[in-house]
Amino acid sequence: MTSIRIRLKCGPKSEILSLPADSTAAALFHEINQRFSIPSECVSLKIGFPPKEVSFTSNSALISSLISSGQQVLVEEKSKPKTTEFSGFQTAAALENQSKLGTLTTPATNEYSQSSTSPAPNASDSLYQAPAPNPNDPPYVQTPEGDLVLRIMPDDNSCLFRALATPLGVQPFDLRKIVAETILSDPFTYSEAVLGKAPQNYAAWIQKESSWGGYIELSILSKHFDVEFCSADVQTGRIDSYNSNPLTGQRIWIMYSGIHYDLAAIAPILWDTSADIMFFDCKNTEMESFVKQLAALLRQKHYYTDTGSFSIRCNTCGTGLKGEKEASAHAMQTGHTQFGEF
């Protein structure tokens, strides 16, 4: 690793910081001072979820000894220590102990500090220029619990099953199989009138990797796992709930673009999906407003398809179709399930 990239969050402000991999705590505190005007001796750092305070043993300690690349670091200002005679991490007691050993030394100079003989910096040198947003960062909005981030699923006709399989800890095909078995076990509830085709045919169809999932699958799987699924429509901001008030009290958020599903998760580490928090308390009513903010952000980026008017082509026979209704009707009549926009 040649660099360490972290996100500093101080109140409503946040900054992306990139430093060499061998950078020290002194470098980090210097950057924090430049961005947020907090003296190094007054900085409090917290990482993880829930946030826990961390502290370096010395100015020369490597940042990587406590903070991993990709993490979000909460920066807070604490009261200035009473022992202000000494800079950095050395305390009066530490210096007294060193003097007893005959090894008293002047506290190490901050590698970014200037000596008294150094020329005063130009006004332009003291101006901090925030880095440009990284185009590789996933879309996200800030919440008190961390960043609510869009985890984008592959566009392979299994996006819904992939989005749900990630938090549920199963494979997408397993979810398809559960849907098929549920339909076959209850043909009265899942009749041809509901499914648009005979239960046996639908059960066989949904187990194909080329078949899209939708509200029927969301309804079945939410009940099977006793988890509420909430789907946010990017275009309209509408929230659809499946299996509200489950006994588990847990909820999963997904984002629907009209033809595609993605997962929404709290990311303590923006670039590390392994740390994502994907289950939410159903009593957490505040999260819905942040999900709607994420939907609005995606809408601004035109991350949706107007399913009532978009042009689509059947990849099997080449027939041109308009809107979701024509595509659905064509699929029912021909059994073709491979479509693409044009």
Active site residues: 156, 159, 260, 336
Q: How far apart are CA 226 and CA 249, in angstroms?
A: 9
**Edge-to-edge strand list for the sheet holding 311-314:** 320-322, 311-314, 339-341
Q: Are 21 and 70 in contact (CB under 8 A)?
A: no
Q: How far apart are CA 330 and CA 316, in angstroms?
A: 11
Q: Are 186 and 243 in contact (CB under 8 A)?
A: no
Residue 171 identity = Q
> H or E element: which one contains 36?
helix 25-36
> H or E element: which one contains 20?
strand 13-20
Q: Please name which of 165, 323, 162, 295 lies closest in space to residue 239, comparing C-alpha atoms.
A: 295
Q: What is the DSSP string of 238-301?
A: -EEEES-S-TT-EEEEEEE-SS-EEEEEEESBTT-GGG-B--EETT-TTHHHHHHHHHHHHHHT
For the packed helices 159-168 and 215-225, what is the interaxial angle rounded to 10 degrees? 10
Structure tokens at 30: 């210097």
Chain centroid offset of residue 71 CA:
12
Structure tokens at 64: 């990587």
Strands 261-267 vs 250-256: parallel, antiparallel or unpaired: antiparallel
